[in-house]
Structure 1
Amino acid sequence: MSTAIKQRQPVSRAFLSGMAGSLLEGISPVARTIVGITWLAAFVAVAAFALRTVTGPGPATGAAYETLYVALYMLPGGLCIARAALVRHERGPWLAFGIGMLAWAGGYAYYFAVLQDLPSPPSPSPSDALWLTYYACAGGALISLLRRRLGSIKKSLWIDVAIAALALASISAALLVDPILASTGGELAAVATNLAYPVADVLLIGVVLAAFALSGWRPGECWYLLGAAFAIQIVFDTVYLYQVASGTYVAGTSLDAVWPALMLMIAAAAWQKPRTIVSTEYERWHALVVSIVFAVVALFLTIYDHFVRLNDVAAILAAATLAAAFVRTMTTFADVRSLSKSRELLAQNQSILNSAGEGIYGLDRWGRITFANPATADLTGYGTDELVGLDAHLTLHHAETGESPMVAALREGAAPTAIEGLYRRRDGSTFPVEYTCTALEESGRVAGAVVVFKDVTERREVERLKEEFTSVVSHELRTPLTSIRGSLGLLASGTLGALSPKGQRMADIAVSNTDRLVRLINDILDIERIDSGRVTMERVASHTDELVARAVEVMRPMADEAGVRVETDAAGLRIEADPDRIIQTLTNLISNSIKFSPPESVISVSAERDGRRVLFRITDAGRGIPADKLETVFERFGQVDA
């Protein structure tokens, strides 16, 4: 793109492109422009408000300030809702964030309109309910994001989150409980309401820390922004509560500019490209750093309490943190004991994978390769380590249209079935494969899949040669067989002279078997044409009763010889079909019925309407087809042993 074109790019679009990255690619230009203007307005409004509180002659007050302050929360909330509306992926969590921010704005609107001028505002108040609604929405959104990007969450992670939350709560209690008790007169509802904010902050930062620990402290841009926002929020919420409790808080100062800026950071996180959290990182030693650090903090508070008496809430929370740390230690020892057994099992499984002749590779729930055996590397030209982390469908599949069976298995846990397709090697060449994709479930949810495939190049070559041989032999047999049939027909008809009874019988048998052989060769040729895609259907207007009658008439001699009576009950329904193919199908089915029906029995051939279709039905008194052979009879030359 030239410099001149860059200069003509709208400011709103350029601003949003820098903030949002590739998530904008899937939305319309009009929506992109509207979102860009909203982003620019929110950024300018927050910056202007912060500048006013820092450089102004005094605290920002008045109706204009109050209106602007409410708008500063509504704009980020609108951006989160726009993200949910325009981008389908992770719609729920960002919609929850947007609703929470609007609830926060509503809390301030109610406060400015009703509570601000009261000499002693109630606590709790409707504003508190709206502000705490934001925390509930944010907590649910964070947990949903973590589960969506991680899948299953291990028990040890929840224990680490509990340790961090309890330790931070104990610090907040040590700093805030006494000032809050002094300022509220010790009323239970007021104390609980004021403590709810730091506790909620602690829970939010605990979930964020879990995401950081799970990702090996590399969670991606979205979680970096969320982590920064909630870390700053917990600090400034603590400062705010302390100032309110000590009577030093002044509205309209630079402190009030912090929260809108934090909301804008969360909105920026919403527009970052999602990044999957790979939970295997959590098993490394540095994942324990968080729980160890917070356990040391709790131990310090417990020791400090022996010298300078802390309030009971802080002491209890510190003790609970140490108890959770003890539980974490026990689970770690249990994990270490089971790890040796797991390693033995893993070594056995690895030996099986390495010795398998088929290619075997695993997928995570996003379709990325998690492991590959040596056969996979040999067949595709990649190294086993090189394949790990690549998108299997984009890397290996060649021009496969429609939904990949791998995607279906990962989404729905579809049953494994053998599928034929083309795989692509590293050098770009392709080879035919047959593969199955089996979903792996963990805690009732699809956690990944295992794909087993084999190269069927040789098998297809053998099938091609067999089909070619069958086609050539069938054509070569048909020419002399036609002559033989004609000669036998003349002989059996008496055109060449009368035959003795015994000779006539032998001639009739020869004609019958020759006709049977002609039908068999015709069937072989039909199968060959079907496989090669050269069968053409000539659809013409036909009536079902006429088609059934013609098919029965062809098979009447065979039925008479077997002592079987064929009856028809076909309605005269008009259809558009190839009459020759219908008659061919009916004669084949009637022939099978005659062959397996006992003498003196009745075969019924009918045709009836079935919705918008016509159903042909052949009913006989034969022994039937076993349930386990129903599919076999539709295979090439497949039959059930008599």
Structure 2
Amino acid sequence: MGSPATLATQRRRFAVAAPSALALLALFAFLLQPGFSLATRQAASGAGLLLAGVLGAVSCGARAAQTTGRRRRSWLLLMSAGCTAVAANLWATVVGADVVTSPSAVSNGGIALALALSIAGLLMFPSVRRRGADALVMFLDGAIAAGAVLVICSVLVYSELLEATASSPSERWSDLLFPVLDIVLATVAMLLVLRTRGADRSALAMVAAGFLLYTVADLTFAVLAAKGTFEFGGYVDLLWIGGYLIISLAAWYPSEHTDAASPGVNGPGSDARATVLVFAVLFIAGVIQVSVRGDHLRATEAVLWVALFLAAAARQTLLAADNAALRVDLERRVRAQTADLRRLARQNEVLLTSVGDGIYGVDPAGRVTFVNPAGAALLGYSPDDLLGKVAHDHFHAPAVDGTPYPSDGCYISQAIRSGTVAQPEEDVYLRADGQTFAVEITASPLLDDDTVRGAVVVFRDVTQRREVERMKNEFLSVVSHELRTPLTSIRGSLGLLAGGSLGELPERAGPLVTIALQSSERLTRLINDLLDIERIESGTRPMAVTVLEAADLVATAAHQIEGLATQMRVRIEVGDTSGRVLADEDRIIQTLTNLLGNAITYSEAGGVVHLEAREQGSEVVFTVRDQGRGIPAEKLESIFEPFEQVDSSDARQKGGTGLGLAISRGIVEGHGGRIWAANAPGRGAVLTFTLPSPRRPGAEPGAVARQSSRPTA
């Protein structure tokens, strides 16, 4: 068995096969016109039947090679039927048999076998699984279709055959055998259309159409042959040729290669199509009965019509009962789902009402669609007052000078535009009475099948928290200032003692004074760091921003930290440096020494710390890379928070206050830059920050200085 072709390949093949089949049919229709001689028409009929039969057999064989299971067996049976019919026609031609006056028994037997194989092939195709009333309706559809075909054949064919055939019973049964097989074939072909669904339906409908056309040709031939008026080389032969070509074309129709029967689920139009097909055949049978017989009915025909009407009535009764049961079941399911939706809506309403934080939702235009009672109370409104209002314009507080912030930069617009969650940030909201209060918000997009329908914002009043932070900062500032003065005296006195200015110390006192001096220096650094943090958070730390060479900043920082590097036996390696920056020289050198100090502290003896600066577009990127133990992934963000360290034991083993990176972040962000941490491939950590270059739009020294005056923590 060959590998199944893709749908695209099947479509290309069908696009070639369809016009080719139409062209062949048109050619033989032209050659069978009465204007040509009888010999020409008979030669054309013989060639057409042979060619169409061979094409049908080859096409069915090709389709069988591309399928599996029952479908493969069905197409193989149809291929065998085509080969048998071609062989029977060739035998009749070889022995010189006349299909009317002196038919060949071998040829007739071959044609009968071909019809039987075709019936078996059609019955073999996988069909829809039917159960209960649906299966009974399909059975009645088949019975009605078969009865209608039998009525048509009884009126048009069998009456003519019974009147025209010889009186010998054996000859009469021989003449009636082919019409019986044709009736069975036509009935099975119609049932094939009724019992299939999905992608195979079009291809099998073409197969059924081909066999129906073949059946019409056979029955027409039987009547004309019985009357002695059949002439080989006429349009009846064109019906046979057309049937073969339609079956050939069906074998090339694109379809999925699955062998499983389709589940018994009917689409909206399935019952309608079946009803139209069944009653169309029944209507045609009635028209033929009235047109040919008039008001004269034979007993057998009357029995057939009574059975047909009873079957049709039973079919419609079953459909009505099944539809009524389906409607009742659907109504029950709708009621159950409606109750579930109401319960879920009530549960969501209770959740929103019970939450202490404010929650409101907006549509894509930013208009409020819902707000919980806690959120409305925080804003000083009732929930109904806020519905339909644009959130950004209505209660987002303007800047200090009264200028409203642009809505495009609002976190709500960003969440709707990007479809991502806006990380917690702080904002200022405006109450109904005009007072403002600080809030912490999180904005999340409302997604419906990857389509953003709006956003949900959760906000919390952080006024008290800010007040606590302000009191904490004031306390730290006061304590730090109060400690600095006596600590300076203590440090100076210890320095005099350790330096021998007051005489040589006893042997046991020297180490103690050295330890006390180192501890006082460490305490001084801690106080200075605390003061730096307080100034950064309050925005009172001045900056003298000028245009500086990145190479000078790197060289100065490397020189200042060289003593610590020598002490720790770590080598500092300065890489490529380029670009100019707008920065406060002292603050950036402080940042670089903080980063270099951390890298040296956490490097092993003999390690290398790499420092470089590269210009990228409108900014300069500074990078410090060490060969230490690296930073855990969960700490890459939090290490920039005050008093945060990779390991709690680092403060005891490595020293340090846990404030260096927090100060560095405040300095960098105060310059309008960014700072982040990452792990180097293999081992070590990479600390990177950016500073604006003079080429960045709006990056003049005055603008950077104004930016640095805003709180950043």
Alignment TM class, shorter chain as reference: 0.3 to 0.5
Q: Which has the larger radius of gyration?
A: 2
- Normalization by structure 2: what TM-score? 0.41
